[in-house]
Chains A and B, each alone.
Chain A
Amino acid sequence: MTAPLLSVSGTSISYGKVEAVRSVSLDVNANEIVTIVGANGAGKTTLLNAIMGILPQHGRITFDGIDLAALDIEDRVASGLSLVPEHRELFGTMSVEDNLLLGAFRIPKATAAKSFERVYALFPRLKERRTQLAGTLSGGEQQMLAMGRALMGEPRLLMLDEPSLGLAPLIVADIFKIIGELRAAGVSVLLVEQNAKAALQIADRAYVMELGAFILDGPAQAISADQRVIASYLGFQHASASGI
């Protein structure tokens, strides 16, 4: 087996004296969708932020075999790592097209033109709204723009933090369908979600996080069938539907 694309080992993250993430280890392989599910406050966002370099961490994180310790956020972006943060962090007073253009800030101009085509093909809605200001888009469109902007930089690993947060169910379905398509396009995905059901359906593998540590990991299907996961995250309805 080849080395994983992203490898996190023994990572701990603290806010002052409070340890939010305790010695977690995680791998994401090339062409794989991995999800981290868990309740609010489990430390999922904290972990993603640390991988991206927004928060300091203790432990070892490598991406494509390179230790990320010496790299800042911008270097990590350049090496092919990209984060769509929970709050999307769009450039609200700039147009959709400018937001996307800036997503390709680190890559050559010729490649950026192709990226535009790819992103507009994935999100036709963005093309319709390309002259509109990002701040005036609906929540779902903003999420699409945030993902589109991240994809413009041609990342090899896209980290998505709660992409379904605050969106209507139909839009969520759309977004998850697109996440599934990314794998086919050669982008690996690390997906953090509270909507465990949807996340487990498209993921290859999953980690379950509770109170800053992984309590379970394995193939997504096996995780969906785990009694504890069903009880805590998937709820009664899903359990009865699965015949348990």
Chain B
Amino acid sequence: MDTTILLFLIQDGITNGAIYALLGLALVLVFAVTRVILIPQGEFITYGALSYATLATGQVPGTAQLAVAMGVVAFCLDLYTARKALRARVLLRAFVVDIVFPLVVFALTVLLAGRQNNIPVNITLSLLIVAAIGLFLYRIAFQPIAHTSVLVLLIASVGCHLAMQGFGLVFFGAEGLRGPAISDAAISIGQLRVSGQSLVVYGITAALIVALWLFFDFTLYGKALRAMAVNRLGARLVGIRTSLSGQIAFLLASVIGAISGILIVPITTLYYDTGFIVGLKGFVAAIIGGLISYPLTAVAAIVVGIVEAFSSFYASNYKEVIVFTLIIPVLVLRSLAAPEVEEEKD
């Protein structure tokens, strides 16, 4: 193998790995805070990517309507929960978050789609749509069962994934879409040509990781989320709501998923169901990180990306097999090394 190919594969691997790192971090975050293994992460990727690609063609993506519909359901649930003690402040908050927010996003989408084709505006709209969906997904599917076992949450998670994938097919059709690149520039370092899109991927990944670090280490809400991850009862006893921390975690995860999708849709054609496989690779990284460690997850994600790049070069038919097989020795090693942990109840 010559150096050019080697460098090219490594670069390709790091680009993919950076995306898997984001997804892996989101998975670890959601699991730590809510104990949900976020299978629908893949749909956040698809929804973000395909909403962005649809907006680029000047149409309104169906996800904008879905956000409004989910908001209405979430509002009904909020009303039902608050029925015993109807307080104006609680109702107002629910109305603003569940009804006004998705409606404003929908109105903006209808207003702006087709009139212009501005990449930052399309990105912002896609992120807002997916953020709303992520928030309401937690409210509708997970908040009512937040205190059940990890297994029940996992089953709900699989259900959400299947339902959202179905909606994806309805909204975006079976045809794949590609979105416009954020940057068309390219730089050459010796024989290696690095595309602007790859640089954008590195830049945004790094920026998001720094932003997450700042959020968790220096803000009250970030610390509250960590507290919820460390000790759920302790967090509730100081008045941190599981519902609030769950919503923030899902909001962050959905935005991270959507950003990942928007970053890859200019590189590869995405279909309504592609997100799942991409999300699973982030999941492999998260598993290697034990669903606990953020740095280990990030490093593992880069390894997953590089392994994927090399296996697609040498044995492209077995690319996915090789990547997912990585998880087996890791699980074996981890189960040997880790003491038995009883599932936390609350």
Residues of A within 8 A of B (CB): 52, 54, 70-71, 73-74, 77-78, 82-83, 85, 88-94, 98, 101-103, 105-106, 149-150, 152-153
**Given A70-B85, A105-B220: A149 and B238 within 8 A (CB)?**
yes
- Does B334 sit at the interface, judged by CB under 8 A? no
Closest B residue by C-beta to A79: B239
A70 / chain B contacts, CB cutoff of 8 Å: 84-85
Specify which of B220, B233, B239 is in contact with A89 (CB 8 Å cutoff). B233
Q: How far is the CB of B233 from chain A (nearest CB, A)?
A: 5
Asked if A94 and B237 sit within 8 Å, CB to CB, the answer is: no
A90 to chain B: closest residue by CB = B234
Which one of B40-48, B224-232, B257-265 contacts A? B224-232
Q: A73-B236, A85-B233, A153-B239 are in contact. Are A94 and B85 (CB under 8 A)?
A: no
Q: Given contacts A94-B227, A94-B230, is CB(A89)–CB(B85) below 8 Å? A: no
Q: Using an 8 Å CB-CB cutoff, how does the interface string of B321-335 with A read, 1 for contact, 0 for none?
A: 000000000000000
Distance, CA A92 to CA B234, complexed state (A): 10
Q: Which residue of A lies closest to B85 (CB)?
A: A70
- Selected from A77, A92, A93, the residue in CB contact (under 8 A) with B239 is A77
Q: Once the chains are docked, how many angstroms separate the CA of A132 from the CA of B240?
A: 23
B319 in the interface (beta carbon within 8 A): no
Interfacial chain B residues near A88, Cβ < 8 Å = 234
The answer to whether A74 and B227 touch across the interface, beta carbons within 8 angstroms, is no
Q: How far is the CA of A92 from the CA of B227 in the complex (A)?
A: 9
Quote the shortest CB–CB distance from B237 to chain A (angstroms). Answer: 6
Is B230 in contact with A103, judged by CB distance below 8 angstroms? no
Complex Cα spacing A85 to B231, Å = 13
What residues on A are CB-neighbors of B223 within 8 Å? 94, 98, 101-102
The answer for the CA separation of A70 and B90 in the assembled complex, in Å, is 14
Residues of A within 8 A of B224 (CB): 102, 105
Q: A101-B220, A105-B220 are contacts. A73–B237 as well, Cβ < 8 Å? A: yes
The CA-CA distance from A89 to B231 in the complex, in Å, is 7
Bound-state CA distance A102–B342 (Å) is 27
* Residues of B bordering A, CB below 8 Å: 84-85, 220, 223-224, 226-227, 230-231, 233-241
List 20 extra interface pairs beyond A103-B238, A105-B220, A150-B238, CB under 8 A: A52-B237, A54-B233, A70-B84, A73-B236, A74-B241, A82-B237, A83-B237, A85-B233, A88-B234, A91-B230, A91-B234, A91-B235, A92-B230, A93-B230, A98-B227, A101-B220, A105-B224, A106-B238, A106-B239, A149-B238
Q: A91-B227, A94-B223, A98-B223 are in contact. Are A105 and B238 (CB under 8 A)?
A: yes
CA distance A54 to B223 in the complex (A): 23
CA distance A171 to B300 in the complex (A): 46
18 contacts between A and B (CB under 8 A): A54-B233, A70-B84, A74-B240, A74-B241, A77-B238, A77-B239, A82-B237, A83-B237, A91-B226, A91-B231, A94-B223, A94-B230, A102-B224, A102-B227, A102-B238, A102-B240, A150-B237, A150-B238
- Considering only CB atoms, which chain A residue lies closest to B228 in the complex? A91
Partner among A89, A90, A105, A152 whose Cβ is within 8 Å of the Cβ of B240: A105
Query: Is the pair A153, B233 in contact by a Cβ cutoff of 8 Å?
Result: no
Contact (Cβ within 8 A) A77 B237? yes
Closest A residue to B240 using CB positions: A105
In whole angstroms, how far apart are the Cα atoms of A78 and B85 in the complex? 15
- Cα A78 to Cα B241 in complex, Å, equals 11
- Please give, as numbers and ranges, the residues of chain A lying within 8 Å of B239 by CB-CB distance: 74, 77-78, 105-106, 153
